């Protein structure tokens, strides 16, 4: 079942074809679905698992290795020794050896251990990448959800404006028939109706697009037709001559999102998100790999022990049990500087990782401070916009009353209606920008 389908209306068979389905898309449910179904997150999870397995593989090189070795060879000419007129073969045509071998690197100046620690650091970097990708997915989903909230609010506001324009056009038509209005006023009123209908239809298309973008991020398919969505309040007061809704959509209110993200406003005590930890771990990995490479300049000591069944036993054609123990030392004499250059390359990569982490930290602090400045400004704008919308509403009503008494022209009525619509849409836009800015701050400071 679609994880986003939280509430599907239960309709009787007689009403099933008449009433649209109802979908409630909760932000928390959408976030959970987006993280569960994200292909990008699954890819990074697979990279993380691969890095963990690589580190475990490197660790196994620190311990003794036991293998079962077997060899066989055929010799066409067997050497022989002639003694006192008698020829004695010094072997056999068929030769084989079978047995276990134990090998262990006793000393390598820490080369294998540093290589293992380097792989561990790379694994930590992949783990931080996984968490950073999860935060990015959450940010994209929250931004898409805010866009859907804004689109839904725009449909509501334009629906209200269209109903007002239709009512005014009807009222002016009555006044025209009573001789209290002109044909010019009626045509102007009808032009406003047509303009609002066009804007309303486009707003519904924009809402459909925003919802499809939201569903795409969740990785799920909608359980209803999203071509003509509306919310319950807009569907209850549907303007005249518009298409009925294909689905009734319910979204969380922007105020709920603001409350859930309120903690993002606080400056984190330890500003160390996964993106910075990933750069630090990559630098550590390169630094440890450089140490492992440098150890190759020093001697290494290996122990080997073997017990095997060998055939033949020299000139005696029999199988014997042979036990051998060996100690091998190796010291590079000349390699044209290959090991030193490799170590220098890895050290340079570590320095590059350190500088990239520092650059990312500076960008993070800058973006955080810019976001806080934007948030403070948006809060102030929100208060101003709400007052402007309230006054624009009152002004539009007063101007229309003045028009009916002949003290104002219909052009003034249209201008007042437009100002009211713009003020109400601006209120919704500011609320959405507040939510989006909080989501950005959360992505910068959240650690998981």
Here the tokens at position 96 are 């084989």
- pLDDT digit string, tens, across residues 83-105: 777 888 888 999 999 999 999 99
* Tens digit of each residue's pLDDT (9 = 90 or more) over 196-216: 999 999 999 999 999 999 999
Helix axes 111-177, 274-294, angle to 10 degrees: 160
Residue 11 has a pLDDT of 33
Least confident of 7-21, 118-132, 196-210, 351-365: 7-21
Residue 324 belongs to a domain: no
415 vs 73: CA distance, rounded Å: 101
| CATH number assigned to the domain comprising residue 138 | 1.20.1600.10
| Residues 287, 293, 299, 300, Cα dihedral to 10° | 90
Tokens for 320, please give them. Answer: 């014997």
- 377-400 tens-digit pLDDT: 999 999 999 999 999 999 989 998
pLDDT tens string 167-192: 999 988 988 888 888 889 889 889 98
Quote the pLDDT of residue 448: 56
The tens digit of pLDDT for each residue in 308-322 reads: 999 998 888 889 999
CB-based contacts of 164: which residues, under 8 Å, 6+ apart? 417
Mean pLDDT for the chain? 88
* Token pair recorded at residue 68: 């079962």
What's the pLDDT score for residue 182? 87
Q: String of b and e for 197-220 (b: at least 16 CB within 10 Å)?
A: bebbbebbebbbebbbbbbebbeb
Q: Is residue 139 part of a domain?
A: yes
Q: Is residue 27 part of a domain?
A: yes
Q: Using CA atoms, how far apart are residues 206 and 156, in angstroms rounded to an integer?
A: 13
Rounded CA gap, 270 and 288, in Å? Answer: 26
pTM: 0.82
DSSP string, 14-39: TTTTTS-EEEEE-HHHHHHHHHHH-H
- pLDDT of amino acid 447: 59
* pLDDT value at residue 80: 86
Percent of the chain with pLDDT over 70: 95
Domain that holds residue 437: 21-64+109-297+352-445
Percent pLDDT > 90 in the chain is 59
Q: Yes or no: say if 97 and 312 are a contact pair by the CB < 8 Å rule.
A: no
- Taking the C-alpha atoms of residue 376 and residue 249, their distance in angstroms, rounded to an integer, is 31
Q: How far apart are CA 200 and CA 156, in angstroms?
A: 9
**Based on the structure, what is the number of domains in the chain?**
1
- DSSP, collapsed to helix, strand or coil, labels residue 301 as strand
Q: Is the pLDDT of residue 12 over 60?
A: no
Long-range contacts of 63-68 (CB under 8 A, 24+ apart): 63/104, 64/102, 64/103, 64/104, 65/102, 65/103, 65/104, 66/100, 66/101, 66/102, 67/100, 67/101, 67/103, 68/98, 68/99, 68/100, 68/101
By C-alpha distance, which of 387, 144, 384, 138 is closest to 264? Answer: 138
Mean pLDDT, residues 28-38 taken together: 92
Which tokens is 143 given? 């931004």
> Token digits for 32?
């959970």
Alpha-carbon dihedral 258, 262, 267, 273, rounded to 10 degrees: -80
Q: Confirm whether 224 is domain-assigned.
A: yes
> What is the pLDDT at residue 87?
81
Asked whether 102 and 66 are in contact (CB, 8 A), the reply is: yes
Residue 393 lies in a domain: yes
pLDDT recorded at residue 317 = 87
Give the other-Cβ count within 10 Å of 117's Cβ: 21
* Banded pLDDT at 8 (limits 50, 70, 90): very low
17-21, 261-265, 435-439: which has the highest mean pLDDT? 435-439
Flag whether 303 is in a domain: no
Range with lowest mean pLDDT among 38-52, 173-187, 282-296, 341-355: 173-187
Give the CA distances from residue 319 to residues 87, 93, 128, in Å, rounded to whole numbers and listed in that order: 22, 14, 58
H-helix or E-strand containing 445? Answer: helix 410-445
pLDDT at 142: 93
Residue 126 lies in a domain: yes
Tokens, residue 334: 């000349």
Taking 80 as the threshold, does the pLDDT of residue 248 lie above it? yes
Closest to 70 measured CA to CA, from 239, 262, 308, 296: 308
Q: Which of 281, 277, 278, 192 shows the shortest CA–CA distance to 239? A: 192
Least confident interval from 5-9, 63-67, 186-190, 436-440: 5-9
Average pLDDT rounded to a whole number, residues 48-75 = 94
Is residue 305 in some structural domain?
no
Tell me what pLDDT residue 286 has: 95
Question: What does the block give as tokens for 271?
Answer: 């500003």
At 5 the pLDDT is: 37
């Amino acid at each position: 079942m679609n994880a986003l389908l939280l509430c599907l209306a239960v309709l009787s068979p007689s009403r099933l074809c008449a009433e649209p389905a109802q979908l409630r898309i909760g932000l928390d449910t959408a976030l959970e679905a987006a993280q569960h179904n994200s292909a990008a997150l699954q890819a990074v999870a697979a990279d993380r698992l691969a890095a963990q397995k690589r580190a475990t593989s490197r660790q196994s090189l620190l311990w003794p290795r036991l293998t079962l070795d077997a060899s066989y060879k055929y010799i066409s000419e067997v050497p022989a020794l002639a003694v006192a007129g008698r020829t004695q073969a010094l072997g056999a045509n068929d030769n084989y050896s079978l047995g276990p071998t134990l090998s262990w690197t006793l000393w390598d100046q820490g080369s294998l251990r540093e290589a293992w620690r380097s792989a561990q650091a790379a694994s930590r970097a992949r783990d931080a990448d996984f968490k950073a990708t999860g935060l990015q997915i959450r940010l994209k989903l929250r931004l898409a959800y805010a866009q859907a909230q804004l689109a839904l609010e725009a449909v509501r506001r334009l629906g209200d404006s269209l109903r007002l324009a239709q009512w005014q056009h009807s009222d002016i038509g009555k006044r025209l028939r009573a001789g209290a209005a002109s044909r010019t006023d009626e045509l102007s009123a009808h032009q406003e109706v047509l303009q609002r209908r066009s804007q309303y239809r486009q707003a519904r298309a924009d809402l459909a697009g925003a919802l499809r973008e939201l569903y795409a991020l969740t990785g799920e398919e909608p359980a209803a037709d999203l071509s003509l969505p509306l919310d319950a309040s807009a569907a209850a007061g549907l303007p005249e001559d518009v298409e009925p809704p294909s689905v009734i959509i319910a979204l969380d209110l922007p105020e709920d999102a603001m409350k859930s993200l309120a903690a993002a406003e606080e400056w984190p005590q330890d500003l160390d998100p996964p993106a910075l930890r990933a750069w630090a771990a990559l630098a550590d990995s390169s630094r440890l790999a450089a140490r492992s490479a440098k150890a190759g300049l020093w001697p290494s000591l290996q122990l080997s022990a073997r017990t095997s069944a060998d055939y033949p036993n020299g000139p005696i054609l029999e199988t014997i049990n042979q036990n051998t123990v060996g100690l091998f030392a190796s010291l590079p004499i000349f390699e044209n500087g290959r090991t030193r250059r490799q170590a220098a390359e890895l050290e340079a990569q570590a320095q590059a990782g350190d500088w990239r982490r520092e650059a990312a930290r500076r960008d993070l602090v800058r973006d955080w401070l810019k976001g806080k400045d934007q948030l403070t400004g948006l809060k102030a704008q929100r208060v101003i916009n709400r007052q402007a919308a309230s006054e624009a509403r009152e002004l539009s009503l007063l101007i229309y009353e003045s028009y009916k008494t002949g003290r104002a022209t219909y052009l003034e009525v249209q201008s007042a209606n437009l100002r009211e619509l713009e003020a109400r849409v601006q209120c919704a836009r500011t609320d959405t920008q507040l939510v989006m800015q909080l989501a950005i701050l959360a992505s910068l400071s959240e650690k998981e």
